[in-house]
Each structure stands twice: as structure tokens, then as C-alpha cells.
A = this chain, B = another copy of it.
């Protein structure tokens, strides 16, 4: 965690944690000012880190009294939600899609950060020597490992 974008991300997540409603409203210009950066840097952080794939919803309004509102989708039963996520994996899974799923499962505390790293390593290991079909094998592997993890807990 060392770039400006990382710090802004952490800052927003902290605000989210502190808010009861899992929603924060902020002013782009003000936030940019806090971090002494250009306002568009905020957009950069929002579009790269607070995506719908990771469970965030960002709304905004321009003009006078404009704002940016960030919400985090959280479900009561994390395990159930994890199952849904897993079932959404089709026959292929790109690295980006995998990252998003892992990020959400870490968020939901269904897997630990360490487990995420291990899963990444294993997938990389197993797919590295392939020249085609990586996405297919990745889908199978991720599904298998996550199912095992989730079911082992239940």
C-alpha cells in the first residue's frame, strides 16, 4: 500500500467502515484537496477500486451541491452469498474475474488474505505451462478450491 491511489482507497474504505449505513457521501474536490491531488485522481480510484464487480455502488451528481455517494453491498449470510458468487462462474474465468471474486470473498471474510494468495499461486502454477484453455482450467480450479473451502466450514 504505497501509492496515492492506495491511500485514497484505504481512506474511503475506512469511512465506509465507520459509517453505520455502509454508505458514504463525499465531495470530489474536497477529497482531492485532502490528498493534494487533481480531482480526476478520485475518479481513477473509484473506477479501478470501487467497481460493481467488487460489490460497490457509486452514484454521483454534478453541478451545485454535487456529490459522490459510495455504497457497499453487504449480505447478511456471507456463505450463501459466496455460493451465489461461485455459481456465477461460468465455463471460463479470466484473471481479472478471478481477482474480483477473491477480493469479494476476502471482504466477506469467507477466505483469508493468505488463502487468496495461495489460490493465486496454485492457479498460476497449474496454468502457467498452458498456451490455450487457461480460462477454462482457471474456472474449474477456482470453483473447486472455493467450494472446498466454503463447504469445509459449513
A residues apposed to B, CB below 8 Å: 2-3, 6, 51-53, 57-59, 64-65, 67, 71, 73, 112, 114-115, 117-126, 137, 140-141, 143-145, 147-149, 151-152
CA distance A5 to B132 in the complex (A): 31
A151 neighbours in B (Cβ, 8 Å): 118
A67 neighbours in B (Cβ, 8 Å): 2
Decide: A71 and B126 in contact? CB cutoff 8 A.
no
Name the residue on B nearest A57 (C-beta). B117
> Could you tell me the dominant secondary structure of chain A's interface residues?
helix
Decide: A118 and B6 in contact? CB cutoff 8 A.
no
CA distance A93 to B54 in the complex (A): 27
Name the residue on B nearest A65 (C-beta). B3
User: Which one, B53, B115, B126, contacts A143 given CB within 8 A?
Assistant: B126
Decide: A152 and B120 in contact? CB cutoff 8 A.
no
Decide: B6 and A65 in contact? CB cutoff 8 A.
yes
Nearest CB of B to A32, in Å:
18
A124 neighbours in B (Cβ, 8 Å): 52
User: Which one, B6, B57, B118, contacts A147 given CB within 8 A?
Assistant: B118
CA distance A26 to B129 in the complex (A): 26
Nearest CB of B to A71, in Å:
7
Decide: A126 and B152 in contact? CB cutoff 8 A.
no
A120 neighbours in B (Cβ, 8 Å): 57, 59
Decide: A121 and B58 in contact? CB cutoff 8 A.
yes
CA distance A121 to B141 in the complex (A): 14
